[in-house]
Structure 1
């Protein structure tokens, strides 16, 4: 009988085991588009990953980083892997963040993450270290020490201890419930929340992903999502390490600029498992030409993950039909549900099996009940996100906290080892979201804020609790309105629907339109068509329609629609439409808000 293999107590032990088992095997391929748009890749073996990250870990340990929060700002994939694993090997808490890149929103987000996490150190590369140090000074955090990953790994001057000795790595002695990293959610820029993901959480969720997607050491895992996103980090970056397989990673900007790069990467590097949000598949449908897709072979892509935002059956149908000639099969789609607060995966289907779909009555759905759509009545197709993976899922009345039976829509509550300890330094939020108790006294649940329904063990996600629009006493799902409006014209792109209150609730639709002329006479007609569609299908008035340029509708880097941010922009007059129809009382609301902001700025200047 063979010797028992010890179960790792933390993810660091697991990573070290993989590095020692497969030093010469390729761990990661970092893909980029060359000058002629041909794909190229830099590779790191497991041995190279280990040497680089352990050297950096020793460097961090010599500087007393154990238990400290270390911000990671990298655009380069190989440098990110080194910094992230270096933090874990050093016993530090990694804090991935979006590189500012000059964008005001990202600069503000990074500044607030630094403040919230009480960051002590920041990892970047030597080419950007000076600019990042200046940024730290400009946002009022000159005390944060900026470290260049590549200098430490290369053994550059200043990377050694006094006397010229190179620091030696030592086992950090981590416990399962020690925090591995802070995963900042895609919520408020001004008030970011960092999810405390422990080593126990990470190990449990990686096992759930493997069991749910049936991945093995022969799987090739990859995608384009950023590493500060839960699917990009736990799914595409860390899952290959868990398996001892190969990861293939594409910068998000390469996908956004040319969506075909994603499909070409899947073909060229033999990706079997990976995906992204529904938006990613939509972008391929809109922007990948027949000429670009000719000759692609997607037959090895057997698990096309679709998650991170609501899954649309029509998108999967259209994608499967459009790319059938490449060998892609409809059954390859793997709709799933998850969130950063549960590390990543909560539920998923069975690879190779078609996802269960149900077309339900829209009117019943408004009353939080699911029944089959009746002939001649408006319906909505729900796609199953599979069964719970490594956790317990309950559907709960968000007010009474009573568990609901199958067929009733309620808030999705989750319990299990993948559920994080809470948000960093947020005791009140944690008591509400991470310490929820059912009406019968059963405790320890995470309140996800998402709405869903169970049918025969399968989970169907219907929407977001905070996004529900209550208009004329009815519960309207914004994604239903958005989906319907986008079908009005082939010129329409992304859409955002929300409500604002001015004596009564008003529906607002912000719709991107592709047009070369700002004063196209068709815009007024298109706006009227939008109003007619909403009125006829949902029996509510869409008195406020803004037709805007492509790129106006705000999304996170992973493609998640930011409806609350769009609502705030609308109320602050920050949306600049090509054409708009706005109800008089809503216009007064926006103008009053603008006057209040002007008075506030004037008062601030006078006080200054």
Structure 2
């Protein structure tokens, strides 16, 4: 694949004012109609004005943290930062208010930006306290006060190896790290996505995934701007509160591409099951990408069946795989192809072999590596390449792979320095999977893997059993973790309960549920679940993209930071949150 590194994303976006000046570039709509809309001509003019104002304030070439709510202002601020050669750092405004402020200050302390810029919404929530808490060397700037530059501005010539964005990892298995994304990384991955997803200038987007998440930033915002198509932005909160608003926007704007992780599709099905399906026309939706940790076949089936009468074509589903360290996507199925789902023996997977079986674990293929990228399956212990059908760590290589973690040489070498006989470096993803002639199948996170007597078990397999028992299929409502107390290993399932169910939970019901869980896990996986811990809904920690933080959940359990509704198993007797030798394994 030929990738043109002669132009930056800024050159391309501003160039659209000459080819499609009147086409809407950015639309913000919460489901009630456009709240804000900018054409490519208006976007280009606004970016130049903002870039001129940033340059006049001495912020060219600086690190600028962006604390913004969903909307067009974030996209404008991001583009203006890139236009002056600055490093844009999207900051996630998530969690409870007090915790959010501390998390923001902690992140700012780690990355030490020269300036933090806030939109009106974030300034109203955090402005006074944040400006007072910032160190004297860090500037505080409100977007609305930035004004417009008075001098004509010509974007800088940006080199491919020049740092563009610090994208923070999700923090699923460790503290979030700042991934260094260059201008060349952006051009490479946007070019690869365009080709792999079959996009054109008429491939309009609708997106609700948070803009500070790689999927929201590089997929829902920068890909349509790269193409010269239309980007319709809605807020995650609007979608969560009214799931059908997402589908209404796809119908209203005749979107070609939209998507998200498993829970987004599941939320729509659950809502439609309870309240019915409104009048929708989803026939324009040609690419429904799903890039969760592991694409669930049950999610694809339920959504396709639920919305078939609304014009949704199951062939629109496009399972894919990527992570922040690869800018966005590396592996993807061809567009408009029927999802490939295979059933594999769970016990064989635990032993490192992918063997098809009449009964077992259903896995969806995420396709081959996209053109311009390379993906390999490697033994994580020996560093030796593995053949098709062997479970190992996914290693990636290509021009879209980030250059490393900011101010963290040790982690950069450990993650980005993988070597094979034919060379490198490769990105070690920390994800387990296997390859077939059809493509790659994702199994689990390497660091989350439960190891019992030398056999590897994916925690998501245990969690899926719980979802079946509890009627929460498709929802991230449990965390399977391995906990050690002294020399004793406990395999624990931490499961959430709805408020009305928690009130009626008796010890007899708890024991019965735990018995069913243990029986099914032993039958399917040959895994002994030692403990079941029931906690309130939303008690399990999650990343900004909704992924369960299993290691953190285990630590919270042992530190006494989880509100426990019920608990059964040997851990209940040994449970002492203050015990020093108790720790989450790994």
TM-score w.r.t. structure 2 length?
0.92
Distance in 2 separating the partners of 1:197 and 1:426: 14
1:50-104 CA deviation, whole Å, 9 max, x = no partner?
A: 1222111111111222221100011141110111011011111000011257534
Give the one of 547, 552, 562 matched to 2:549.
562
SS in structure 2 of the partner of residue 498 of structure 1: strand
1:208-232 CA deviation, whole Å, 9 max, x = no partner?
A: 1111110101111122100110010
Q: What does residue range 142-181 of structure 1 map to in structure 2 within 5 Å?
A: 142-153=136-147, 155=148, 166-181=150-165
Distance in 2 separating the partners of 1:212 and 1:20: 26
Unaligned runs of 5+ in 1: 161-165, 597-608
What's the counterpart of residue 235 of structure 2?
251
What's the counterpart of residue 497 of structure 1?
480
Deviation of 1:435 after TM superposition, in Å, equals 1.9
Give the one of 475, 485, 500 matched to 2:456.
475
Distance in 1 separating the partners of 2:96 and 2:463: 31
8 Å CA contact retained: 2:72, 2:233: no
Match status 1:485 vs 2:469:
no
What's the counterpart of residue 117 of structure 2?
123
8 Å CA contact retained: 1:11, 1:202: yes
1:426-456 CA deviation, whole Å, 9 max, x = no partner?
A: 1111111112111x26121111111111101
Deviation of 1:207 after TM superposition, in Å, equals 0.7
Give the one of 446, 451, 459 matched to 1:465.
446
1:521-577 CA deviation, whole Å, 9 max, x = no partner?
A: 454243443333334433333232122222222222322221122112112111113
What's the counterpart of residue 429 of structure 2?
448
Q: What does residue range 383-532 of structure 1 map to in structure 2 within 5 Å?
A: 383-389=364-370, 390-438=372-420, 440=421, 442-456=423-437, 458-490=439-471, 494-502=477-485, 503-516=487-500, 518-521=502-505, 523-524=509-510, 525-532=512-519
Between 214-223 and 578-587, the greater mean CA deviation after superposition:
578-587
Between 353-362 and 541-550, the greater mean CA deviation after superposition:
541-550
Distance in 2 separating the partners of 1:254 and 1:129: 20
What's the counterpart of residue 206 of structure 1?
190
Distance in 2 separating the partners of 1:268 and 1:528: 49
Distance in 2 separating the partners of 1:410 and 1:171: 45
| Residue correspondences, number | 574
Deviation of 1:481 after TM superposition, in Å, equals 0.5
Give the one of 262, 268, 275 matched to 2:259.
275
What's the counterpart of residue 46 of structure 1?
40
SS in structure 2 of the partner of residue 237 of structure 1: helix
Between 208-217 and 99-108, the greater mean CA deviation after superposition:
99-108
1:502-530 CA deviation, whole Å, 9 max, x = no partner?
A: 21321111112224154414542434433
What's the counterpart of residue 249 of structure 2?
265
1:95-132 CA deviation, whole Å, 9 max, x = no partner?
A: 00112575344333322321222101111135654754
What's the counterpart of residue 360 of structure 2?
379
Between 342-351 and 185-194, the greater mean CA deviation after superposition:
185-194
Deviation of 1:588 after TM superposition, in Å, equals 3.4
Distance in 2 separating the partners of 1:517 and 1:280: 24
Give the one of 200, 207, 215 matched to 1:231.
215
What's the counterpart of residue 313 of structure 2?
329
Distance in 2 separating the partners of 1:56 and 1:594: 54
Distance in 2 separating the partners of 1:279 and 1:6: 36
Distance in 2 separating the partners of 1:371 and 1:128: 51
Match status 1:103 vs 2:97:
yes
1:244-278 CA deviation, whole Å, 9 max, x = no partner?
A: 00111110011111211111111112111110001
8 Å CA contact retained: 1:260, 1:292: no
Deviation of 1:388 after TM superposition, in Å, equals 0.7
What's the counterpart of residue 603 of structure 1?
none
SS in structure 2 of the partner of residue 461 of structure 1: strand
* Pair 1:225–1:189, CA change in 2 (3 A): same
8 Å CA contact retained: 1:336, 1:345: yes
Unaligned runs of 5+ in 2: none
Deviation of 1:594 after TM superposition, in Å, equals 11
8 Å CA contact retained: 1:73, 1:99: yes
Distance in 1 separating the partners of 2:423 and 2:186: 24
SS in structure 1 of the partner of residue 336 of structure 2: coil
1:3-33 CA deviation, whole Å, 9 max, x = no partner?
A: xx98643222112212332222100111114
8 Å CA contact retained: 1:92, 1:180: yes
Distance in 2 separating the partners of 1:512 and 1:130: 33
What's the counterpart of residue 600 of structure 1?
none
SS in structure 2 of the partner of residue 180 of structure 1: strand
Deviation of 1:584 after TM superposition, in Å, equals 4.2
* Pair 1:431–1:301, CA change in 2 (3 A): same
* Pair 1:223–1:357, CA change in 2 (3 A): same
Q: What does residue range 80-99 of structure 1 map to in structure 2 within 5 Å?
A: 80-99=74-93
What's the counterpart of residue 601 of structure 1?
none
8 Å CA contact retained: 1:129, 1:146: no
